[in-house]
């Protein structure tokens, strides 16, 4: 394993009522990771609009050496200040284009070029909704490979059960970095599971540096006991991938569905129609109230 990310799911400064509070503060999370990592570099996530350059400087002082600067796939220009600041700090700097299914491959490339111009060393195709299918991943990675000098990464979610398949497709098209998590721990139906991807890469003879049994054991013995809710493909997480909704919306939609007695799948579908992007968890309550009102009207 080359890089380990240690940050709130919505990045530095993400601990909030909107996204949920972190159990530990940023300093503890980052310094603990830095102290225990043997050869892996420690990364942080930064969403311009949520976290600031001040947050980044602090994270860097705690020992983080990689930063992933994340924007919605069509809004790369909000990352200019942050990517430049990260380069000035001497960090391994990544541009992270989220919800990559929401724009064409050609347009995604244009946004990637902006991040490359600002100085990003690596640009990611980030499938935040787990909504891309294999050909769509191939097309995006291939265009990046043909037109960018930066390294290329892929971040998948397993909502359509394509986490491993999409990651393999990305590798075959020349991706340099692939995101995984132990036992697939992550939003929605989770991310690509480390141990699963390692097993498939072994069978396909693709080179890497992760031990299969150790990753299996870490997933089983360390990660799974910490997980409150099983990360799985169920009607809700499948709906995320099917309608292309940001994976972190799952828990909020589930809660709002219960509270307002509406089908959480309808909440997600409505959010998809409205074009909600990552970070707009606050829209969920409004949609649930709206659906409840419509339901009350229909039954009168």
Partner 1 sequence: MALAKEHGLKPIYTSIEGFQEEPELADIVFEATSAKAHQSNAPILKEMGKRAIDLTPAAIGPFFVPAVQEDANSVVELDNVNMVTCGGQATIPMIKAVSDVVGVDYAEIVASISSKSAGIGTRQNIDEFTVTTARAIEQVANVKEGKAIIILNPADPPVLMRNTIHMQLSEDADTHTENILASLEETLKKVQAYVPGYRFKADPVIQGKIVTVSVEVEGNGDFLPTYSGNLDIITSAAVKTGELMADHMMVKEY
What is the binding site for partner 1 (CB under 8 A)? 13, 16-18, 48-50, 52-54, 72, 74-75, 77-78, 80-82, 102, 274-280, 282-283, 285-286, 289
Characterize the bridge pairing of strands 66-72 and 92-98: parallel
Q: How many CA atoms lie within 13 A of 181 on its CB side?
A: 18
Q: Cβ closer to partner 1: 190 or 279?
A: 279
Q: Cβ closer to partner 1: 115 or 276?
A: 276
Interaxial angle between packed helices 105-118 and 134-147, expressed in degrees from 0 to 180 and rounded to the nearest 10:
40
Q: Are 29 and 9 within 8 A, CB to CB?
A: no
Q: Cβ closer to partner 1: 14 or 188?
A: 14
Strand residues in 86-191 grouped as ranges (E): 92-98, 122-126, 151-155, 177-178
Q: Are 250 and 237 within 8 A, CB to CB?
A: yes
Q: Are 48 and 82 within 8 A, CB to CB?
A: yes
Q: Cβ closer to partner 1: 81 or 269?
A: 81
Q: Cβ closer to partner 1: 17 or 298?
A: 17
Q: Shortest approach of partner 1 to residue 254 CB, angstroms?
A: 17
Q: Shortest approach of partner 1 to residue 267 CB, angstroms?
A: 13
Q: Shortest approach of partner 1 to residue 175 CB, angstroms?
A: 25
Q: Cβ closer to partner 1: 107 or 214?
A: 107
Note the Cα 252 to chain centre separation in Å. Answer: 17
Q: Shortest approach of partner 1 to residue 280 CB, angstroms?
A: 6
181 three-state secondary structure: strand
Backbone angles phi, psi at 281, to 5 degrees: -55, -25
Q: Shortest approach of partner 1 to residue 248 CB, angstroms?
A: 13
Interaxial angle between packed helices 235-243 and 264-274, expressed in degrees from 0 to 180 and rounded to the nearest 10:
10
Backbone angles phi, psi at 132, to 5 degrees: -80, 145
Q: Shortest approach of partner 1 to residue 194 CB, angstroms?
A: 30
Strand residues in the chain grouped as ranges (E): 3-5, 41-46, 66-72, 92-98, 122-126, 151-155, 177-178
Q: Cβ closer to partner 1: 49 or 138?
A: 49
Q: Shortest approach of partner 1 to residue 282 CB, angstroms?
A: 4
Report how far residue 2's alpha carbon sits from residue 261's, in angstroms, rounded to the nearest whole number: 45
| Element holding 25 (H helix, E strand) | none
Q: Cβ closer to partner 1: 75 or 266?
A: 75
Q: Shortest approach of partner 1 to residue 88 CB, angstroms?
A: 14
């Amino acid at each position: 394993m080359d890089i380990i990310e240690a940050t709130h799911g919505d990045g530095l400064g993400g601990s909030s009522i909107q996204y949920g509070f972190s159990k530990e503060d940023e300093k503890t999370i980052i310094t603990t990771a830095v102290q225990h990592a043997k050869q892996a570099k420690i990364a942080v996530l930064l969403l311009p609009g949520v976290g600031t350059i001040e947050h980044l400087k602090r994270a860097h002082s705690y020992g983080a050496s990689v930063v992933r600067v994340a924007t919605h796939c069509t809004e790369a220009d909000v990352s200019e200040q942050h990517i430049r600041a990260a380069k000035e700090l001497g960090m391994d700097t990544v541009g992270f284009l989220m919800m990559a299914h929401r724009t064409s491959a050609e347009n995604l490339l244009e946004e990637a070029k902006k991040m490359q111009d600002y100085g990003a060393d690596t640009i990611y195709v980030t499938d935040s909704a787990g909504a891309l299918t294999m050909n769509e991943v191939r097309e995006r990675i291939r265009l990046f490979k043909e037109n960018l000098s930066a390294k290329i990464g892929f971040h998948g979610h397993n909502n359509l059960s394509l986490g491993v398949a999409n990651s393999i497709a990305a590798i075959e098209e020349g991706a340099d970095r692939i995101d995984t998590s132990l036992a697939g721990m992550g939003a929605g139906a989770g991310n690509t599971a480390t141990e699963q991807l390692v097993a498939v890469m072994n069978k396909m003879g693709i080179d890497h540096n992760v031990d299969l049994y150790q990753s299996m054991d870490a997933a089983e013995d360390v990660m799974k006991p910490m997980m409150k809710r099983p990360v799985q493909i169920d009607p809700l997480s499948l709906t995320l991938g099917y309608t292309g909704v940001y994976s972190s919306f799952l828990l909020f939609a589930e809660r709002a569905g219960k509270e307002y007695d509406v089908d959480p799948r309808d909440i997600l579908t409505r959010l998809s129609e409205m074009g909600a992007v990552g970070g707009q968890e606050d829209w969920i309550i409004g949609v649930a109230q709206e659906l409840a009102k419509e339901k009350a009207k229909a039954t009168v």
